[in-house]
Structure 1
Amino acid sequence: MRGDNKMNIILYGTGKRFRSFIDCKFYAEALKRHDYHVVGVYDKAKAGERVTVGNGSFVVGTQADCVQGASDCIAITSDKYFDEIAGELTALGVARERLIKLSEIETELEDDVYTFQRFDGRYGIEIGGPSHCFAEIYRRCRGCDDVNFSADTVWWKKKENVYRGGTRTLGKVFIADAVDLSMIADAKYDFVLSSNNLEHIANPLKAVAEFVRILKPGGYLVIVVPFKEKTFDHRRPYTAFEHLLEDYKRDIGEDDLTHLPEIAALHDYEMDPPCGGRENFLRRSKENFKNRCLHQHVFSEETLRGIYDYFQVEVLSFACLGANLVCVGERAAKSMI
């Protein structure tokens, strides 16, 4: 990448990855901050067609536009087929150094939120996972342990007593509930990560209390939760911080199904094909303590900031990144935990 220099980019591919990138307000604003400009779009199956994404519209260029166009780089949207596509383009005369993965651009832009260098050489722990959004942290950190509530979840299965991020062995695995990490010493880790996990917890403040307890003073807490407008929760109201605090004081257990009637009534089943429809959703939800599939709460920026403030974790950055809200904070030198 070119750092602070202006860069003109042609995007290769108009599939799901392209659409999520173009439709993300954060990426659009970050491109402007970095002086990066999308000057063309190419897809060999759609040359000449108009592609509309959100409020934007693009005419897909020809192969000649892609190969000979005045761009600094061609960003290939597919990581899986990058080598194959790169081979085709270099055979047409495109210099190899002009070809990059779109994911590399995304990582550079996301540094505006994460400031990835703060994780260099640090040792942390993830609650849930592994998570694609933390790939760059996995790459940079010294190591990372993991906590999952079961050795066999809908999202992950324990095959050995090591935690892996991609092909890298990161650390060990604890099988424990996020609300009770008593097997882990106070102030043990440099960072705590949690992605698309907190919404599944009936008593989120009890869990975050544990996250902060095992975090060193000056350590980093990164919480990623779904942005409801992009998910099957879009009809549900946000959970107020005051509600979470009441649940915390009442010591609500993880077997709680108080919110199930509201969730079932407002869940968008068409956006959630894996749930198998309303009846199957209800059957699965009644076994939620075993599977933890239910989104117990819906988080807004205000609610997340309230959680960080309550536990004296300073919010360093906040962003709506695609279908997720990302909050990065630093634990105070002296905290209430």
Structure 2
Amino acid sequence: MTIAEFDETLSSVYAFRRFFANLYLQGNGIEIGALNHPLDLPASAQVKYVDRMSVPQLKKEYPELGNVNLVTVDIIDNGELLTTFENETQDFVIANHFIEHCQNPILTIKNLLRVLNKNGILYLAVPEKQHCFDRDRPITSLEHLLKDYQEGSEWSRQYHYEEWVELVEKEPDETRAKWMVKQLMKREFSIHFHVWTGKDFIDFLIMLKRELHFPFSLERVFDNINETITILKKI
């Protein structure tokens, strides 16, 4: 793909994101982990940005962001837990390219729904594995996700880092690979812990609805080139 083709694709991705934001988002809400790609919102929506670190801390932790303009972090909080937020206080929550970074996605979605008002909107965009560096990794099974939720995610943490080093970093040297895993775990480096295709992510949401009785309706699913956009309404 040429630079011009990449820019055109990125422009299309953002255009469809804006389209659904204009359709569904209004009132007061939060966006988690926006970094340098905040969702473009309609005038009817006011947002505060949440991240686990301040901007200077993010740039120190991720040197590749050093020269990138990041949104100002209004609230420092763990996006998986949102402990600084009371129940039913937000009209919308935006979490684009965030769920795959969560070690316990089911608990995360439970908390995202917890802070939403009735009829509040959860706006999710999840990368399609075939269109990113996850292409060689296996899909995260529903059984795996349930075990993370029921037993905690510590059991699978090292496994995810090992898979990352092998299938994303593609480190061939076993000794160096083990060292890399230890360093990533020590830093609690944010990788894609979980991997989905659009279909598999929808199956995951259906499981949350049917088996765990999470209080949402699936309002919209859209294949947005290299990601899947899903709009959930709290009920």
TM-score (norm 2): 0.76
Q: Which residue of 1 aligns with 2:45?
A: 142
Gaps spanning 5+ residues in structure 1: where? 1-13, 25-102, 158-162, 165-171, 271-276, 333-337
**Equivalent residue, structure 1, for 2:215:** 312
Which residue of 2 is the match for residue 16 of structure 1? 3
Q: Deviations over 1:112-161 (max 9, x none)?
A: 6x1513324x1111111145361x22x4343112221122222879xxxx
CA distance change for structure 1 residues 231 and 186 in 2, over 3 Å: closer, same or farther? same
Contact 1:189 1:216 in 2 (8 A): yes
Aligned partners of 1:125, 1:17: CA distance in 2, in Å? 32
User: Is residue 118 of structure 1 aligned with residue 24 of structure 2?
Assistant: yes
Query: Would you say the 8 A contact 1:304–1:327 is kept in 2?
Result: no
Separation in 2, partners of 1:206, 1:156:
28
Shift, 1:177, TM fit: 1.3
Pairing partner for 1:232 from 133, 137, 143: 133
Q: How far apart, in 2, do the equivalents of 1:281 and 1:322 lie?
A: 32
In the TM superposition, 1:57-206 aligns within 5 A as 103=11, 109-110=16-17, 114=20, 116-120=22-26, 122-130=27-35, 132=37, 134=39, 136-137=40-41, 139-151=42-54, 152-153=57-58, 154=62, 164=72, 173-206=74-107
Whole-Å Cα distance in 2 between the matches of residues 253 and 211 of structure 1? 21
- Measure, in 1, the Cα distance between the counterparts of 2:142 and 2:83: 25
CA contact (8 A) 1:233 1:268 kept: no
CA distance in 2, matches of 1:128, 1:107: 16
Counterparts in 2 of 1:227 and 1:317: CA distance versus 1, 3 Å: same
- Is 1:287 aligned to 2:189, yes or no? no
- The whole-number CA distance in structure 1 between the counterparts of 2:36 and 2:124 is 12
Q: Alignment partner of 1:319: what SS? A: strand
Is the 2:166–2:177 contact (alpha carbons within 8 Å) kept by the matching residues of 1?
no
Q: Percent identity?
A: 20
SS for the counterpart of 1:150 is coil
- Deviations, residues 282-322 of structure 1 (Å, cap 9, x unaligned): 46423342x32x21110223443244341232222222323
1:220 maps onto 2:121 in alignment: yes
Deviates more, 1:181-190 or 1:246-255: 246-255
SS of 2:120's equivalent in the other structure is strand
Once the two structures are TM-superposed, the CA of residue 195 in structure 1 deviates from its matched residue by: 1.4
| Residue among 322, 329, 337 paired with 2:232 | 329
Counterparts of 2:21 and 2:94, CA distance in 1: 14
SS at match of 2:24: helix
Q: Post-superposition shift, 1:15?
A: 4.9
DSSP 3-state at the match of 2:50? strand
1:192-226 deviations in Å (ceiling 9; x for gaps): 11112211111111111110000111111111122
Partner SS state of residue 256, structure 1:
helix
Q: Against the structure 1 CA distance between its residues 227 and 192, is the aligned structure 2 distance closer, same or farther, given a 3 Å change threshold?
A: same
Greater RCO between the two (CA within 8 Å, min separation 6)?
A: 2
Contact 1:145 1:173 in 2 (8 A): yes
User: What is the CA–CA distance in structure 1 between the aligned matches of 2:65 and 2:103, rounded to whole Å?
Assistant: 20
Tell me which amino acid in the other structure corresponds to 1:18.
E
Residues 51 and 77, structure 2, Cα contact 8 Å, conserved in 1:
yes
**Aligned equivalents of 1:110, 1:181: Cα separation in 2:** 24
C-alpha deviation, 1:175, in angstroms: 1.5
Q: Which residue of 2 aligns with 1:298?
A: 195
Higher helix share: 2
